[in-house]
């Protein structure tokens, strides 16, 4: 029995996912066209967001929403809001790469209370409620127990055209390659955080993110026993623009390595 708030998120995400998976099949065909699928993907993103907006508003009409495409919707004085990314991993989707997700978080009085990240291609639902642990479908999750950087796999995001953070990423690459077992860049911030919560990654960092990229994932990692902050050590990863997440054994080591390289 999942908590009611997670059932609401799950129902909305699965309806939006059906639309995304249908459109993803079309994208794979559009790859061979001269025009390419970019305009089609933009419409797919908006369709998924409208489905999520409708379903979440229907279930919780008093909640406000922070949506990636539409922005803030609702009463600005509302104490409850949904934070929604209808298609995290748009570039993967655009290229027919089956690695993308829907991310939904519930924030109450400025605190993250519940979160869910749904991977439609693998039918994996990562979810957490504050104080109740983190789960993959019905299985309890814990962050990894690795304590040495030389056995750790880290993940990050690499900025593309027009996005900030290129210098910081380049500065971090050498120490990360020198001191860890590997670095991964999968292109979906929400799933990177979910994978930290699941122990698949031992740590993750990125610069230049928005609340809808990380809202659900922050809570997942914390409820799985991990630690999350900004890279510079401040404690507002939801709004601060950078994020560092890891298990408790590696968190300080990864943070020190990154801060020395990036000079934040």
Q: What is the pLDDT of residues 130-139, one digit of tens each?
A: 999 999 999 9
CB 233 within 8 A of CB 209: no
Stretch 92-104: mean pLDDT = 93
Is 75 or 26 the better-scoring residue by pLDDT?
75
pLDDT at res. 38: 59
What number of H helices and E strands is found in the chain? 7, 13
Helix (H, G, I), strand (E, B) or coil at 121: coil
CB 101 within 8 A of CB 195: no
pLDDT at res. 35: 46
pLDDT at res. 32: 47
pLDDT at res. 31: 54
pLDDT at res. 145: 98
Tell which residue, 82, 81, 83, 103, has the closest CA to residue 20: 103
Q: What percent of the chain has pLDDT above 90?
A: 80
Is the pTM higher than 0.85?
Answer: yes
Q: What are phi and psi of 51, to 5 degrees?
A: -65, -45
pLDDT bracket for residue 95 (50, 70, 90): confident
One CATH from 3.60.70.12, 3.30.43.10, 3.30.540.10, 3.40.710.10 for 4-140? 3.30.540.10
Stretch 242-260: mean pLDDT = 97
pLDDT bracket for residue 40 (50, 70, 90): low
Is 149-262 the same fold as 4-140?
Answer: no
CATH of the domain spanning 149-262: 3.40.190.80
pLDDT at res. 34: 47
Q: Does residue 188 register a pLDDT over 70?
A: yes
Helix (H, G, I), strand (E, B) or coil at 103: strand
Domain ranges of the chain: 4-140, 149-262
CB 225 within 8 A of CB 142: yes
pLDDT at res. 123: 98
Is 161 or 180 the better-scoring residue by pLDDT?
180
DSSP H helices, the chain, are 4-30, 38-59, 90-94, 166-179, 189-197, 211-223, 251-262
Report residue 56 CA to chain centroid gap.
19
Q: Does residue 160 register a pLDDT over 50?
A: yes
pLDDT bracket for residue 15 (50, 70, 90): very high
Q: Does residue 221 register a pLDDT over 50?
A: yes
Average of per-residue pLDDT values in the chain: 93
């Amino acid at each position: 029995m999942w908590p009611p708030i997670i059932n609401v998120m799950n129902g909305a995400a699965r309806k939006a996912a059906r639309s995304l998976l249908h459109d993803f099949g079309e994208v794979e065909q559009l790859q061979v066209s001269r025009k390419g699928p970019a305009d089609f993907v933009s419409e797919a993103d908006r369709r998924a967001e409208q489905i999520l907006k409708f379903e979440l508003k229907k279930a919780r009409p008093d909640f406000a929403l922070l949506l990636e495409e539409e922005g803030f919707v609702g009463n600005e004085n509302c104490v409850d809001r949904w934070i929604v990314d209808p298609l995290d991993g748009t570039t993967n989707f655009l290229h027919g790469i089956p690695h993308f997700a829907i991310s939904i978080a519930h924030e109450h009085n400025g605190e993250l209370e519940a979160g869910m990240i749904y991977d439609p291609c693998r039918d994996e639902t990562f979810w957490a409620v504050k104080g109740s642990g983190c789960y993959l479908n019905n299985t309890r999750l814990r962050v990894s127990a690795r304590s040495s950087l030389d056995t750790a796999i880290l993940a990050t995001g690499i900025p593309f055209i027009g996005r900030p953070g290129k210098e910081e990423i380049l500065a971090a690459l050498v120490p990360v390659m020198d001191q860890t077992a590997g670095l991964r860049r999968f292109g979906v911030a929400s799933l990177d955080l979910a994978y930290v919560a699941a122990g698949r990654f031992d740590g993750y960092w990125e610069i230049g993110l928005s609340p809808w990229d990380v809202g659900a994932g922050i809570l997942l990692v914390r409820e799985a026993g991990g630690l999350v902050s900004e890279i510079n050590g401040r404690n507002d990863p939801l709004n601060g623009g950078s994020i560092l997440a890891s298990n408790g054994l590696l968190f300080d080591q990864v943070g020190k390595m990154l801060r020395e390289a990036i000079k934040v």
